C-alpha cells in the first residue's frame, strides 16, 4: 500500500514554524509528517554512523583510536607487528571465529532442516511439546543458556573439550549449534508452509515414492531457504559473544571475545580493523542469503512485498 | 490402506517424527539437561578438598542452603560473607526499565513512520533498520568506546558547542553511559516487531475513525495505539529478556562495580570454581524472575507459527 493516500489540500499558511508543522500533521495525518521524517532519519544516523566511524578509524594511518587520521591499510596488513595479519593474537581470533562459524553452520543446518521437516509435517501426539521445545532456545536469555551449557560441560559431559573452536565436537561448537538449530527451523519451516503439500502430493500421485517426492521434488524447492538458513547461522555464530565466552576457557578467543577483553585498552586501531573484517563477513553472508532468496523465490508468491520485507518478518 | 496409519502426505505415522528425532534429541541433551544442571549445581555442595562444585543430580539430594542465602541477599539481609545483591538487583531493574522506556519513546515514532508514511523509501529504511541485527553487539559497543574516549568525537562536539566546559570521562562508572548504551544496543530489536504490528493495521479502520468524526489525535489514541498494543508488548519483552542478563555493556562502557548488573554477578561467580553454586543460584533466580516474560514470548511465537501454518 502506498502511503500517499487521500491527501487533503495542504494548509499552506501555517506551515512555517515547527509547531505549525506539527499542527498540520495533527490536522492531516495523511499529509507529509515532517517531524516524523526528521526523527526517523536522526534515529538512522544515530544507529549507523557510530559504526561507520569505527570502521573508518580502522583505516587510520596513525595510532589514534578516536580521531580520523590519514587513510591506509596500516592496521590490516602493513604494520609489521601490530596489524591484524601480523599480530598473532588478532589473527588467531579471526581464524577461530571463521572456524567456529563454519563448523556450527555445517552441523546445525542439516539437523535444523530435518527438524523443520519433521515438525511441519508431523501431526500426531507429541508434536505440540516438540514444537514448544524447539522455540524455547529462542526465548531463553543467552546468559542463562551460557551458564547452563558451561555447567553441563564442566560437570557432566567432561569428555567434551572447552574452547578449541577448530574441533567440530568442542563445547563451543556444540553450544552454538544448540543456539542455532531453532533459527534454521524457523527459516526453513516458513518456506515449507509457503510451498504447501501440493507438489509432493502430485509427485506421489504420479507414482513417486515418499523418498523420491522428498528428495527430487521438495528438496530442490527448499534449497534457497536452506542456503539462507546456513548463512544466517554463519552470521549469528560469527557475531555471538555470550555463549562463546562462557564456553571458552583457553586457546579459543574469537573476535567478539577479543573485542570484549581489549576494547578499553587496545593500543592501536587494529582492533577496529579486526572488527571491520568480521562485520564484512557477517553482512556478506546475510546479503548473499537475501540475494539468493530474491533470485529463486520471488517469482509468484511475494509480488506485494520486497525480499527485504520478508526478511524483516523472518526475524520475529 | 487403513487411514489411521497415514500421516499428512500419505506416509506412515512414524515417518515425519523420525526426521525430527535427531534435532529433538540434541535439544533434550544440550538444552533441557543443561537447564536442569543449573538447578543441580545451585542445590549441590562444594567438594571439601578441591573446592569444586559437586552437583546434586537427584532432587532427593537437593540442599537449598545456597539458594536460601542468595534469596536473603536479594531481599536485603545477606548472610555473613555473602555479597549484598539487593543494590545490584535494584540497579538492574532501574537500568532495564529506563533503557526500555527510552527504546519505546525513541522507537515508536520510527516504526510508525516506516509502516505508515515511508512510501518509496521504505526498503532503504528497512535495510538500515535491520543492518544492526547483523553487526556484532560488541562491535557496536566498540564504536561507542571510540566515540566516548577522552579525546573522542563526543567530547569534541560537546566542548565545541559549549555544552561541556571541559572533556568528560564518560567511560568510568557513569550510569548515564550504560543506560544509553543499553538503549542503543537493543532498540533495533524493539522497532522491528513494532513495525510489523503497525504495518498489519488495516488502513480502512483509520479512515473509518476519521469519517466518523474523530480528530487525528483521537484516532491515534483510540485506534492506532490500542491496535499496536501487541507490538509494544512483543518489542518490550524481546529487549527486556537479554537486557536483564546483560553484563558486557556495563563492562565495556563503564567497567566500574558501581554500574554492575545481575549479569556481572553471574559472570563473576561462575568462572571461579568455588563460586559455582552461587553463580548457578543467581542464574536460577534470574530465570524465575524473567520466566513470565519468557512464557509470554513463547506463547506469542507459538501462536504466530500456528497462524502461519493455516
Q: Is the pLDDT of residue B188 over 90?
A: yes
* Per-residue pLDDT at A15 exceeds 70: no
* Whether residue A301 has pLDDT greater than 60: no
Looking at the structure, tell me whether residues A100 and A227 fall in a common domain.
yes
- Per DSSP, the residues of A226-247 read HHHHHHHHHHHHHH--HHHHHT
Instruction: Decide if pLDDT at B208 tops 60.
Output: yes
Cβ-Cβ contacts under 8 Å, A241 against chain B: 136-138, 248
* Cβ–Cβ contact B105 with A under 8 A: no
Please answer yes or no on whether B302 and A44 come within 8 Å at the CB atom: no
Domain boundary residue among A59, A78, A97?
A: A78
Same domain? For A172 and A36 the reply is: no
Predicted confidence at residue B309, as pLDDT, reads 62
pLDDT band (50, 70, 90) for residue A299: low
Test mutation, A33, A144, A168, A234, chain B, max B CBs within 10 A: A144
Nearest to B23 among A115, A139, A311 (CB): A115
Does residue B176 share a domain with residue B49? no
Instruction: Inform me whether the C-beta atom of residue A69 falls under 8 Å from chain B C-beta atoms.
Output: no
How much is the pLDDT for B305? 67
What would the pLDDT profile of A229-273 be if each residue is shown by its tens digit? 999 999 999 999 999 999 988 788 999 999 999 888 877 889 999
Task: Say which range, A268-282, B65-79, B110-124, B230-244, has the weakest mean pLDDT.
Answer: B65-79
Q: What percent of chain A has pLDDT over 90?
A: 37
What is residue A73's predicted lDDT score, i.e. its pLDDT?
87
User: Are B94 and B122 within one domain?
Assistant: yes
Same domain, B263 and B159: yes
Q: Which CATH number do you get for residue B188?
A: 1.10.3720.10
Identify the domain boundary among B31, B46, B74: B74
Residue A304 forms part of a structural domain: yes
List the one residue out of B8, B310, B306, B307 whose CA is nearest residue A214. Answer: B8
Q: Do residue B18 and residue B149 come from a single domain?
A: no
Same domain, yes or no: A105 and A244:
yes
Nearest residue to B96 (alpha-carbon basis) of B266, B253, B243, B215: B243
User: How many alpha carbons fall within 13 Å on the CB side of residue B183?
Assistant: 21
Of the residues B1, B10, B12, B37, the best mutation for testing chain A's interface (the one with the most A CB atoms within 10 Å of its CB) is B37
Q: Are residues A130 and A153 in the same domain?
A: yes
Q: Which residue has the higher pLDDT, A126 or B22?
A: B22
> What pLDDT does residue A16 have?
54
A129 and A46 belong to one structural domain:
no
Q: How far is B138 from chain A (nearest CA, A)?
A: 6
**In the prediction, which pLDDT does A31 show?**
57
Instruction: Indicate if A59 and A99 belong to the same structural domain.
Output: no
In the structure grid, which three cell numbers stand for residue A307, read together?
Answer: 525480499
Q: Output the pLDDT for position B7.
A: 46
Q: Is the dihedral of CA B247, B252, B253, B255 positive or negative?
A: positive
Work out the average pLDDT over A77-104: 90
**pLDDT tens string A191-211:** 888 888 888 888 888 888 888
pLDDT digits (tens, 9 = 90+) for A151-193: 999 888 888 888 788 888 889 999 999 999 999 998 898 888 8
> What's the pLDDT band for B55 if we cut at 50, 70, 90?
confident
Smallest Cβ–Cβ distance between A67 and the set B151, B234, B279 belongs to: B151
Instruction: Give the rounded percent of residues in chain B with a pLDDT score beyond 70.
Output: 94
pLDDT confidence of residue B5: 46
Sort B75 into a burial class: Cβ within 10 Å, 0-12 / 13-18 / 19+: exposed
For residue B245, count other CB atoms closer than 10 A to its CB: 25
B286 is a domain residue: no
Of A78, A104, A130, the position where a domain reaches its end is A78
Answer yes or no: do B100 and B201 share one domain. Answer: yes
Q: Clarify whether residues A231 and A254 are in a common domain.
A: yes
In a domain, B94, yes or no: yes
Per-residue pLDDT averaged across B11-36, rounded?
A: 88
User: In terms of domains, do B215 and B95 share one?
Assistant: yes
Cβ contacts of A139 on chain B, cutoff 8 Å: 241, 294, 297-298, 301
**pLDDT for B10:** 55
Same domain, B19 and B165: no
Domain check: are A95 and A151 in the same one? yes
Across chain A, what does the average pLDDT equal? 82
Residue B219: predicted pLDDT: 83
Q: Is residue A275 part of a domain?
A: yes
Q: What is the pLDDT of residue A21?
A: 60
Interface test with B, best of A162, A200, A263 (most B CBs within 10 A): A263
Q: Are residues A30 and A149 in the same domain?
A: no
- Name the minimum distance, in Å, from the CA of B188 to any CA of chain A: 9
Whether residues B10 and B144 share a domain: the answer is no
Output the pLDDT for position A7: 44
Same domain? For B205 and B69 the reply is no
Between chain A and chain B, the number of residue pairs with CB atoms below 8 A apart is 332
Q: Which one of B20, B54, B74 terminates a domain? A: B74
Q: What sign does the dihedral A27-A30-A35-A40 (CA atoms) show?
A: positive
Q: Indicate whether A70 and A128 sit together in one domain.
A: no
Domain of residue B92 covers 86-271
Residue from B51, B140, B143, B190 to probe the interface with A (highest A Cβ count within 10 Å): B143
Q: At residue B2, what are phi and psi to the nearest 5 degrees?
A: -70, 135
Assign residue A284 the CATH number of its domain: 1.10.3720.10
Residue B287 lies in a domain: no
CA distance A226 to chain B (A): 16
pTM, full prediction: 0.86
Task: Say yes or no: B276 contacts chain A, CB-CB below 8 A.
Answer: yes
Q: What is the pLDDT confidence band of residue A20, given thresholds at 50, 70 and 90?
A: low
* Mean pLDDT value of segment B230-240: 89
Domain tally for chain B?
A: 2
A62 and A178 share one domain: no
Higher pLDDT, A46 or A292: A46
Q: Looking at the structure, do residues A159 and A293 belong to the same domain, yes or no?
A: yes
Secondary structure of chain A: what % helix, strand, coil (to 5)?
Answer: 70, 0, 30
CB contact under 8 A, B280 and A50: no
Distance from the A78 Cα atom to the nearest Cα atom in chain B, whole angstroms = 22
pLDDT of residue A6: 45
Domain count, chain A: 2
* Domain span holding position A65: 18-78
Q: Is the pLDDT of residue A109 over 60?
A: yes
Partner-chain contact B252 A151, CB within 8 Å: no
Decide if A207 is inside a domain: yes
B19 and B113 belong to one structural domain: no
Residues of A with CB below 8 A from B117's CB?
A: 3, 32-33, 36-37
Check CB contact under 8 Å for B139 and A177: no
Amino acid at each position: 500500500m502506498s502511503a500517499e493516500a487521500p491527501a487533503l489540500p495542504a494548509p499552506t499558511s501555517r506551515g512555517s514554524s515547527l509547531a505549525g508543522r506539527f499542527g498540520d500533521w495533527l490536522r492531516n495525518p495523511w499529509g507529509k509528517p515532517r517531524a516524523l521524517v526528521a526523527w526517523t532519519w536522526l534515529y538512522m544516523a544515530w544507529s549507523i554512523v557510530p559504526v561507520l566511524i569505527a570502521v573508518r578509524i580502522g583505516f587510520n594511518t596513525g595510532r589514534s583510536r578516536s580521531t580520523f587520521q590519514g587513510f591506509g591499510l596500516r592496521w590490516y596488513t602493513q604494520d609489521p607487528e601490530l596489524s591484524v595479519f601480523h599480530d598473532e593474537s588478532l589473527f588467531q581470533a579471526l581464524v577461530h571465529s571463521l572456524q567456529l562459524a563454519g563448523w556450527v553452520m555445517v552441523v546445525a543446518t542439516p539437523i535444523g532442516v530435518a527438524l523443520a521437516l519433521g515438525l511441519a509435517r508431523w501431526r500426531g501426539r507429541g508434536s505440540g511439546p516438540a514444537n514448544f521445545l524447539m522455540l524455547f532456545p529462542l526465548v531463553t536469555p543467552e546468559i542463562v543458556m551460557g551458564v547452563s551449557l558451561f555447567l553441563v560441560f564442566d560437570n557432566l559431559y567432561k569428555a567434551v573439550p572447552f574452547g578449541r573452536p577448530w574441533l567440530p565436537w568442542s563445547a563451543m561448537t556444540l553450544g552454538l549449534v544448540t543456539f542455532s538449530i531453532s533459527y534454521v527451523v524457523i527459516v526453513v519451516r516458513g518456506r515449507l508452509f509457503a510451498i504447501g503439500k501440493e507438489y509432493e502430493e502430485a509427485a506421489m500421485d504420479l507414482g513417486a515414492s515418499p523418498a523420491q517426492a522428498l528428495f527430487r521434488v521438495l528438496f530442490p524447492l527448499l534449497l534457497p531457504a536452506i542456503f539462507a538458513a546456513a548463512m544466517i547461522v554463519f552470521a549469528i555464530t560469527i557475531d555471538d559473544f555470550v555463549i562463546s565466552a562462557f564456553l571458552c576457557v583457553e586457546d579459543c578467543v574469537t573476535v567478539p571475545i577479543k573485542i570484549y577483553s581489549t576494547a578499553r585498552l587496545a593500543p592501536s586501531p587494529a582492533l577496529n580493523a579486526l572488527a571491520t573484517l568480521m562485520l564484512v563477513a557477517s553482512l556478506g553472508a546475510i546479503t548473499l542469503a537475501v540475494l539468493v532468496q530474491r533470485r529463486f523465490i520471488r517469482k509468484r508468491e511475494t509480488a506485494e512485498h520486497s525480499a527485504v520485507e520478508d526478511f524483516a518478518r523472518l526475524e520475529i | 490402506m487403513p487411514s489411521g496409519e497415514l500421516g499428512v502426505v500419505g506416509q506412515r505415522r512414524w515417518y515425519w517424527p523420525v526426521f525430527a528425532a535427531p534435532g529433538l534429541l540434541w535439544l533434550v541433551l544440550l538444552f533441557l539437561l543443561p537447564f536442569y544442571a543449573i538447578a543441580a549445581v545451585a542445590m549441590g555442595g562444594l567438594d571439601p578438598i578441591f573446592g569444586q562444585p559437586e552437583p546434586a543430580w537427584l532432587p532427593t539430594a537437593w540442599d537449598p542452603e545456597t539458594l536460601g542465602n542468595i534469596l536473603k541477599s536479594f531481599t536485603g539481609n545477606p548472610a555473613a560473607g555473602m555479597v549484598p545483591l539487593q543494590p545490584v538487583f535494584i540497579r538492574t531493574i532501574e537500568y532495564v526499565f529506563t533503557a526500555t522506556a527510552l527504546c519505546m519513546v525513541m522507537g515508536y515514532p520510527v516504526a510508525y513512520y516506516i509502516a505508515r508514511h515511508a512510501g518509496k523509501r521504505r526498503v532503504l529504511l528497512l535495510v538500515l533498520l535491520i543492518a544492526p541485527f547483523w553487526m556484532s553487539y560488541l562491535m557496536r559497543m566498540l564504536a561507542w568506546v571510540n566515540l566516548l574516549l577522552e579525546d573522542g568525537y563526543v567530547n569534541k562536539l560537546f566542548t565545541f558547542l559549549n555544552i561541556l566546559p571541559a572533556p568528560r570521562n564518560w567511560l568510568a562508572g557513569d550510569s548515564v553511559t550504560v543506560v544509553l548504551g543499553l538503549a542503543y544496543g537493543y532498540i533495533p530489536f524493539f522497532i522491528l516487531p513494532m513495525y510489523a504490528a503497525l504495518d498489519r493495521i488495516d488502513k480502512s479502520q483509520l479512515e473509518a475513525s476519521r469519517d466518523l468524526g474523530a480528530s487525528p489525535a483521537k484516532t491515534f489514541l483510540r485506534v492506532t495505539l490500542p491496535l499496536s498494543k501487541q507490538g509494544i508488548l512483543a518489542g518490550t519483552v524481546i529487549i527486556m529478556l537479554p537486557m536483564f542478563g546483560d553484563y558486557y555493556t556495563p563492562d565495556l562502557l563503564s567497567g566500574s562495580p558501581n554500574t554492575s548488573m545481575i549479569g556481572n554477578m553471574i559472570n563473576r561467580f561462575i568462572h571461579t570454581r568455588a563460586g559455582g553454586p552461587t553463580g548457578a543460584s543467581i542464574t536460577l533466580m534470574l530465570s524465575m524472575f524473567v520466566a513470565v516474560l519468557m512464557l509470554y514470548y513463547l506463547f506469542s511465537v507459538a501462536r504466530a507459527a500456528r497462524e502461519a501454518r493455516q
